[in-house]
Amino acid sequence: MNYVLPFALWSALALVGLSVFGIAAAGLRSLWYGKVETLTVGLVALPGGVFVALRAVMGSWAEAGMYTLAVLFAVLLLAMVGAGGRQFVRGAFE
């Protein structure tokens, strides 16, 4: 029964890879035809870019994944504080 496990794992990883490739291709096609904005595609690609950059610097994939999570939480917090501050300033001077 254990001989099936590696085949199943590699098959699942291959399907995940094909799915990611298909999603990326559809996103690039939509960007090419002007159906989406460049900022939207950049925001969707941000986690992957941060993960790959941290993997290049760090020693393991797991460590890079954990730091990616921390960095993206920090970016989220800064975005929320920035949006709240912007609304506060707009409301204060109107």
Distance separating alpha carbons of residues 8 and 52, to the nearest angstrom: 26
φ/ψ of 37, rounded to 5, equals -90, 155
pTM over 0.75: no
pLDDT, residue 31, reads 87
Distance separating alpha carbons of residues 24 and 18, to the nearest angstrom: 10
Going from N- to C-terminal start, the domains of the chain cover 1-36, 43-94
Q: Is the pLDDT reported for residue 1 higher than 70?
A: no
Q: Is the pLDDT reported for residue 42 higher than 90?
A: no
Higher per-residue pLDDT: 26 or 94: 26
